[in-house]
Chains A and B, each alone.
Chain A
Amino acid sequence: MTEMSRIVRTITSIAFPFSMIFGLYIIAHGHLTPGGGFQGGAVVASACAMILVAFGSKWTLKKIKEQQLSVLESVGAICFIALAFFGLIFGIAFFNNFLVGNEFLFGVIPKGLSNINTGGVLPLMNFAVGMKVVAGLFVIVLVMAYATSEYKQNPRGGHK
């Protein structure tokens, strides 16, 4: 996929940090406002897809390899299932919310208007799911762009 004109590239470079910050806000406040892991992850992934469309797949593949994104995705998934198993080891059941009630991490029980330090295991699971969704959706779009661009360079007919 070839890159677009200079105007588009400049505006994309300006708009990309704002989109990422907004997506991270949606992931981080998932237990207070609408949003959470998947929704925020989809916003961040669409910001990354904007970069891919504006700058071309060759440039993006020089900056980030598919292997690194695959590792990031696995790390996110392992964090999620490890939090579920910690609910079994430190708590009473699988997927239990074992961080509610302690003073240190996310354990404050809210009354009325709540701050971000509440919710127990939920914000951590939101981060894990967000990491996995960003890596997963970005690698899907990246590989599709790379595959179709390679097809245009050496096409094969309808044989076999």
Chain B
Amino acid sequence: MIIGITLIESGVNLFLITLGYRKGSVAPIYTSSSGGIMALPVPQALTLTSIVIGVAVLALMLSLVIHIYRHYGTLDVRHVRRLRE
């Protein structure tokens, strides 16, 4: 489950970065740039924020998994089901 969420997050981040591409542009670094059109830097800042949030969520989920293993003895989600209707 955690790997799946990481995959979704990587996909959304990739989508967010590719929104900034303009045809024939270079990386938007101002120091010693080679001139020409630059790609948009705003989606890169948004993606960076999203990666940081993804790291925090991943750390939290892994800590919860450590606790679940200690209580239930198994990591199979079909057996971690004490809360039913």
Contacts and interface: CB of A to CB of B under 8 A. Distances in A.
Contact of B31 (A32, A144, A160): A32
A160 B71 contact: yes
Interface string A120-152: 000000000000000001001000100110010
B46 interface: no
A120 to B, nearest CB: 15
A113 B31 contact: yes
Contacts of B51: 38
Interface string B25-61: 0010111100000000000000010011001000100
Given A34-B29, A38-B48, A144 B70 contact: no
A148 B55 CA distance: 20
A33 interface: yes
A113 B74 contact: no
B77 interface: no
Contacts of B52: 38
B62 interface: yes
Interface string A92-119: 0000000000000000000001100000
A113 B52 CA distance: 30
Contacts of B63: 140, 144
Contacts of A158: 71-74
B66 interface: yes
A114 B31 contact: yes
A156 B31 contact: no
Contact of A147 (B27, B29, B55, B66): B66
Interface of B: 27, 29-32, 48, 51-52, 55, 59, 62-63, 66, 69-74
24 contacts: A32-B30, A32-B31, A33-B29, A33-B31, A34-B27, A34-B29, A38-B52, A42-B55, A113-B31, A114-B30, A114-B31, A140-B59, A140-B63, A144-B66, A147-B66, A148-B66, A151-B69, A151-B70, A156-B70, A157-B73, A158-B71, A158-B73, A158-B74, A160-B71
Interface of A: 32-34, 38-39, 42, 113-114, 137, 140, 144, 147-148, 151, 156-158, 160
Given A33-B31, A38-B51, 4 more contacts: A33-B29, A144-B66, A156-B73, A160-B71
